[in-house]
């Protein structure tokens, strides 16, 4: 029996999930043997994922060979066959990139585990890796297709490898920065940190609710889907030569999102007023924080519930006539998979901070000393800065080879440049102005959201369509 790349990826997902459970168990018991077992489990799963990527590369090579031989009518041999067989690495479409990003996060985590041994980092790293693999599994098109001419270049090796490890390093730098903010009792209060997480929450809800449209319409929209041949495909219309997915309100979510925003704003104000008086919020501020967190939890839960229960969406007759494919239509996790991933990330951050507010001593005792967390974040972001510079240089050279110009202000090029500038500011502020600690940690966490904006906002065409877009949001 020939093992497919999907088999290896499913196996590594199970391994990462088991590793996550073991790291959580280690946080509760603090037993060294459990941590060692967790690390070995994750390492084994990582090697399994490497095996899956090698298998995927082989599968892609067979597709490229078949396409080349069909196009030329010749049987390729020798060096020519080798070049065609190896020119399609397993990171050329959205599905493969998501799998590869999970690989990069786990790789950087394992290196940091050997170097710094930051307790708690494994839980967050594996949660992010599993999110990336989960998104990959929900991607509608995971098939292998021959590379387009622009991607048929050896630059794809250096460029994409650098970006995956660079962005993964930046992500781990943000993880260590967040843990530093939790630990540094003398430099920042948990009231201030809780207010900061709620600010991010409000901005995310406004962004995904389409800003003022959320308040003027009172609805939150997700993709309408049609089940065909065991797969879910978007329903929509043709706009010119492009297919535009159709969005429908997710029942009752819009009003709940508005309530969450209002509750979060109230909590932010109360937390800000008392941020210097108490390390942890008390009285009305604590009650407002709990209400905001509860509302966020209810919103995310309702989106998921709708995804499983709305199996026969009713559309106005006049509108239904214009949609293809024809009904019946439904909602599923794929209707809002990217939104759910972002909601999930911020929800986990709020959960951690909320637990720290309720049990500050217990949470801080789980973490190593603040200087080690700050140092780990610094080294990760230093590596990210260097690798994103490689991404910019190799991307320019590749662009000249593929499109005849080095720089064209394509959205992805601009996004990578912004990420590099943010990390340059991080390093410059530390070296020149001595912004060690809280200021640099805040920039480190900000860098993670810049990475998300560059990846989701650009690769999926949220902010602008470009030559790097993998598909429509």
pLDDT of residue 178: 96
Please indicate, yes or no, if residue 152 is contained in any of the structural domains. Answer: no
- Report d(CA 171, CA 251) in Å as an integer: 34
Domain contains 395:
yes
Same structural domain, 122 and 211: no
Q: Is residue 231 part of a domain?
A: yes
Cα 117 from Cα 367, distance rounded (Å): 10
Which of helix, strand or coil describes residue 231? strand
Is residue 201 domain-shared with residue 309, that is, in the same domain?
yes
The kind and range of the H/E element at 332 are none
pLDDT value, residue 165: 95
DSSP category for residue 324: B
Please indicate, yes or no, whether residues 275 and 196 belong to a single structural domain of this protein: yes
Domain's final residue, options 146, 174, 199: 146
393 and 338 in a common domain: no
The greatest distance separating any two alpha carbons of the chain, rounded to the nearest whole angstrom, comes to: 78
* Alpha carbon distances (Å) from 374 to 368, 430, 440: 10, 11, 9
Domain identity same for 128 and 194 = no
Among the candidates 322, 337, 364, a domain finishes at 364
- The rounded distance, in Å, linking the Cα atoms of 250 and 252 is 6
Cα–Cα distance between 215 and 258 in angstroms, integer?
Answer: 7
Residue 179 resides in a domain: no
Residue 433 burial (CB < 10 Å; 0-12/13-18/19+)?
exposed
Pairing mode, if any, of strands 236-239 and 231-234?
Answer: unpaired
In a domain? residue 164: no
What's the domain range around 471? Answer: 368-473
Same domain flag for 213 and 358: yes
- Angle of CA points 299, 301, 302, to nearest 5°: 65
Query: How many domains would you assign to the chain?
Result: 3
- Last residue of one domain, picked from the residues 146, 178, 212: 146
Element (H, E) at 227: strand 225-228
Q: Does the residue 159 lie in any domain? A: no
168: Cα within 13 Å, side-chain hemisphere: 27
Per-residue pLDDT of the chain (473 residues; tens, 9 = 90+): 568 999 999 999 999 999 999 999 999 999 999 999 999 999 999 999 999 999 999 999 999 999 999 998 888 889 999 999 999 999 888 899 999 999 999 999 999 999 999 999 999 999 999 999 999 998 867 889 998 887 778 888 899 899 999 999 999 999 999 999 999 988 899 999 999 999 999 999 999 999 999 999 999 999 999 998 878 999 999 888 888 899 999 999 999 999 999 999 999 999 999 777 778 899 999 999 999 999 999 999 999 999 999 999 989 889 998 999 988 999 999 999 989 999 999 999 999 999 999 999 999 999 999 999 999 999 999 999 999 999 999 999 988 887 888 887 777 788 889 999 999 999 999 988 888 889 999 999 999 998 888 776 665 555 555 555 553 33
> Are 347 and 239 in the same domain?
yes
* Token output for 334: 């794929």
198 shares a domain with 347 = yes
DSSP 408-439: ---HHHHHHHHHHHHHHHHHHHHHHH---SHH
Residue 356 falls within a domain, yes or no? yes
pLDDT value for 217: 95
Q: 324-350: buried (b, 16+ CB within 10 Å) or exposed (e) per residue? A: eeeeebbbbbbbbbbbbbbbbbbbebb
Calpha distance 310→221 (Å, rounded): 13
User: Both 372 and 386 in a single domain?
Assistant: yes
In DSSP terms, which residues pair with 457 in a beta bridge? none
The answer to whether residues 254 and 397 belong to one domain is: no
Q: How far apart are CA 166 and CA 262, in angstroms?
A: 37
Instruction: Give residue for tokens 């109360």.
Output: 270
**Six-digit token string for 287:** 């009650």
Q: Are residues 351 and 419 in the same domain?
A: no
45 and 113 share one domain? yes
Position 443 scores a pLDDT of 95
Q: Report yes or no on 174 lying in a domain.
A: no
């Amino acid at each position: 029996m020939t093992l497919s790349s999907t088999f290896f990826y499913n196996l590594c997902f199970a391994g990462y999930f088991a590793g996550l459970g073991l790291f959580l168990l280690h946080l509760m018991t603090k037993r060294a043997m459990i941590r060692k077992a967790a690390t070995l489990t994750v390492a084994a799963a990582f090697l399994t994922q490497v095996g899956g990527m090698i298998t995927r590369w082989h599968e892609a090579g067979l597709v490229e060979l078949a396409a080349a031989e069909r196009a030329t009518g010749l049987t390729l041999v020798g060096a020519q066959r080798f070049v065609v067989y190896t020119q399609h690495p397993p990171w050329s479409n959205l599905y493969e990139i998501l799998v590869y990003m999970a690989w990069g996060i786990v790789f950087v985590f394992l290196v940091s585990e050997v170097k710094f041994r930051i307790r708690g980092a494994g839980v967050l790293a594996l949660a992010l890796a599993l999110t990336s693999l989960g998104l990959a599994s929900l991607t509608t098109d995971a098939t292998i297709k021959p590379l387009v001419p622009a991607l048929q270049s050896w630059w794809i090796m250096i460029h994409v490898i650098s970006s995956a490890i660079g962005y993964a390093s930046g992500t781990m730098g943000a993880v260590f920065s967040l843990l530093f903010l939790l630990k540094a009792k003398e430099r920042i209060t948990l009231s201030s940190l809780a207010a900061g997480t709620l600010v991010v929450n409000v901005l995310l809800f406004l962004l995904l609710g389409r800003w003022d449209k959320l308040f003027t319409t009172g609805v939150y929209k997700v993709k309408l889907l049609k089940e065909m041949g065991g797969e879910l495909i978007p329903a929509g219309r043709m706009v010119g030569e492009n297919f535009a997915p159709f969005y429908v309100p997710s029942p009752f979510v819009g009003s709940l999102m508005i309530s969450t925003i209002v509750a979060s704003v109230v909590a932010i104000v109360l937390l800000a007023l008392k941020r210097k008086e108490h390390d942890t919020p008390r009285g009305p501020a604590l009650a407002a924080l709990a209400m905001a967190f509860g509302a966020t939890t209810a919103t995310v839960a309702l989106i998921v519930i709708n995804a499983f229960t709305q199996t026969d969406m009713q559309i106005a007759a006049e509108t239904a006539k214009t949609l293809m494919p024809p009904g019946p239509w439904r909602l599923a996790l794929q209707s809002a998979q990217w939104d759910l991933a972002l909601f999930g990330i911020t929800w986990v951050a709020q959960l951690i901070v909320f637990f720290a507010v309720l049990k500050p001593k217990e949470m801080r005792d789980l973490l190593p000393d603040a200087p080690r967390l700050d140092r780990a974040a610094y080294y990760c972001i230093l590596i990210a800065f260097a690798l994103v510079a490689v991404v910019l240089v190799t991307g320019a050279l590749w662009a000249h080879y593929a499109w005849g110009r080095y720089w064209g202000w394509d959205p992805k090029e601009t996004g990578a440049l912004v990420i590099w500038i943010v990390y340059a500011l991080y390093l410059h502020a530390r070296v020149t102005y001595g912004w060690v600690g809280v200021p640099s940690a805040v920039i480190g966490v900000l860098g993670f959201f810049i990475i998300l904006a560059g990846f989701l906002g650009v690769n999926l065409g949220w902010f602008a369509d470009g030559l790097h877009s993998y598909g429509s949001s």
